[in-house]
């Protein structure tokens, strides 16, 4: 009996430890963050009030059509206007606040509100594409790629994901299941619109890339779902920082009014008409969940990956948002020999900033051209020589190790040392993000042309946001590759 009693006491002791340790760990993280979050700017109506009627997975999977989806989208955006924008404090009724009804950045005042779902329909439909934007973004980010596909004869549907294109508080409540359901609806609609026998493509940017891959894996198991004939991925979110799993922990006390800012990792002025600048902790946590589910699905469907369609991926070799190595190792290295291709944009080796960069990029570059044949095509856009701004394509065909160089008649712009996660789908003449914007369209701000020099602490915006490249100097090359790929 004494031995049994001792065993019970030992089991009870370990059980208490197993329960108490996570509680103590969470407390030790949540309390300091709650106190630090007090230094964030005060929350505004667009941080605390989510629009009513936003669609969830339960709504969407209940048999909604695209027409139903768009009607609900109208209601949601109307609620933003009538209930949230109307509460904008007088001090924030400025031209640089998208939620002020008199601001030139207020999307409702523009000829086209690119926060909304949009369709491009060619005269003769030769196929179809669903375009899925990224986290905190809107369908605007899919505009340039959608036009390339439309010009190639594809019907293009750029779908607004739930929680996006409205107010940042919407992203604080939306989840990856809602976005996955929206993708299912979008693919179903595109297939119905173009009919059977026409090629169907899913284009995914960042978080949208993860959702595109996840949906395609789902079709391997559920044959009733329309299967895409190919994927185009732009900076796909195949892997994220493991710290994203802590997002629910840091916001543990966000329900306490004193700590309400703990639910946010960034609170910024909302001057961008088509993207949230503030970021809720929930966004990071949903990134963790969707990439975790993606890895599970890739492992679960390993035997069926031989049926996976071709994938064309465009990725910056340096990316502070997603793990570049994961795009190679967790996705492309698992694909069959099916005509897939990976395009990497190297950093600028001519840049004066090169001396201040880490060496991890060289390791990835060496792995890509390390002498091991791959089942997919690998291309890297890089400087022709270390003392030239002009770039070339270094290309290796599947099953070979021979590197072929091709001049591209493109060059790095002055002062640009690399691409970025956000830059890939935007052209140089993008009206909002371009270095040389198309002046025929005006969204109240030219974010790509900001080159500030002056005293710190003066600007309302984050210097990280100002410095981050927002457009792709090599978009003509991306367009060329995309056109050739859909024309196969």
Q: What is the pLDDT of residues 376-416, one digit of tens each?
A: 999 999 999 988 999 999 999 999 999 999 999 999 998 89
Q: What is the pLDDT of residues 189-199, one digit of tens each?
A: 999 999 999 99
Q: For residue 465, what is the domain's CATH number? A: 3.40.50.1820
Q: What is the pLDDT of residues 187-229, one digit of tens each?
A: 999 999 999 999 999 999 999 999 999 999 999 999 999 999 9
How many CB atoms within 10 Å of residue 249?
A: 17
What per-residue confidence (pLDDT) applies to 240? 85
What's the average model confidence in pLDDT over 330-349?
A: 94
Reported as a pLDDT band with limits 50, 70 and 90, residue 25 is very low
Q: Where are the beta strands (DSSP E) in 61-195?
A: 118-120, 127-132, 154-159
Q: Are 486 and 201 in contact (CB under 8 A)?
A: yes
What per-residue confidence (pLDDT) applies to 73? 97
What per-residue confidence (pLDDT) applies to 337? 95
pTM listed for this prediction: 0.91
Percent of the chain with pLDDT over 70: 84
Reported as a pLDDT band with limits 50, 70 and 90, residue 364 is confident
Residue 448 DSSP class: G
Q: Are 148 and 28 in contact (CB under 8 A)?
A: no
**144 or 36, higher pLDDT:** 144
- Helices 176-194 and 66-79: angle between axes, nearest 10 degrees: 130
What's the average model confidence in pLDDT over 217-244?
A: 91
- Residue 108, both tokens: 């409702």
Enclosing domain of residue 452: 2-486
Number of independent structural domains in the chain: 1
What's the average model confidence in pLDDT over 174-187?
A: 97
**267 or 256, higher pLDDT:** 267
What per-residue confidence (pLDDT) applies to 62? 83
């Amino acid at each position: 009996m004494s031995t049994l009693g001792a065993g019970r006491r030992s089991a009870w002791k370990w059980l208490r430890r197993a329960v108490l340790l996570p509680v103590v760990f969470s407390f030790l993280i949540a309390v300091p963050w709650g106190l630090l979050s007090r230094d964030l700017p005060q929350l505004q109506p667009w941080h605390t009030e989510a629009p009513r009627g936003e669609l969830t997975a339960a709504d969407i999977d209940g048999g909604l059509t695209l027409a139903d989806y768009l009607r609900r989208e109208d209601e949601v955006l109307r609620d933003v206007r009538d209930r949230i924008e109307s509460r904008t404090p007088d001090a924030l009724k400025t031209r640089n606040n998208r939620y002020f009804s008199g601001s030139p950045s207020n999307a409702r005042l523009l000829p086209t509100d690119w926060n909304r779902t949009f369709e491009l329909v060619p005269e003769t439909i030769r196929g179809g594409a669903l375009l899925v934007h990224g986290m905190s973004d809107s369908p605007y980010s899919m505009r340039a790629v959608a036009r390339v596909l439309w010009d190639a004869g594809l019907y293009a549907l750029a779908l607004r994901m739930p929680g996006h294109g409205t107010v940042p508080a919407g992203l604080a409540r939306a989840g990856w299941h809602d976005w996955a359901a929206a993708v299912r609806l979008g693919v179903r609609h595109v297939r119905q619109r173009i009919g059977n026998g026409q090629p169907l493509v899913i284009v995914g940017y960042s978080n949208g890339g993860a959702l595109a891959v996840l949906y395609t894996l789902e079709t391997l198991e559920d044959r009733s779902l329309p299967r895409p004939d190919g994927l185009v991925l732009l900076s796909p979110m195949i892997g994220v920082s493991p710290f994203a799993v802590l997002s629910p922990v840091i916001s543990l006390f966000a329900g306490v009014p004193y700590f309400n800012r703990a639910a946010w990792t960034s609170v910024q002025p909302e001057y961008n008409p088509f993207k949230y600048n503030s970021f809720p902790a929930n966004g990071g946590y949903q990134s963790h969940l969707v990439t975790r589910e993606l890895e599970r699905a890739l492992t679960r469907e390993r035997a069926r990956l031989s049926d996976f369609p071709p994938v064309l991926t465009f990725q910056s070799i340096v990316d502070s948002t997603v793990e570049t190595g994961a795009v190679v190792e967790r996705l492309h290295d698992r694909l069959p020999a099916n005509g897939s291709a990976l395009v990497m944009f190297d950093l600028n080796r001519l840049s004066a900033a090169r001396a201040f960069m880490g060496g991890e990029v060289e390791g990835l570059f060496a792995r890509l051209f390390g002498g091991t044949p791959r089942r997919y095509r690998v291309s890297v856009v890089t400087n022709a020589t270390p003392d030239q701004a002009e770039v070339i394509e270094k290309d290796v065909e599947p099953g070979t190790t021979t590197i072929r160089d091709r001049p591209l008649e493109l060059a790095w712009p002055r002062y640009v040392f690399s691409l970025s996660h956000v830059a890939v789908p935007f052209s140089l003449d993008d009206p909002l993000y371009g270095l040389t914007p198309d002046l025929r369209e005006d969204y109240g701000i030219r974010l790509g042309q900001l080159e500030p020099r002056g005293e710190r602490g003066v600007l309302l915006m984050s210097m990280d946001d100002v410095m981050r490249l927002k457009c792709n100097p090599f978009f003509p090359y991306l367009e060329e590759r995309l056109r050739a790929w859909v024309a196969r």
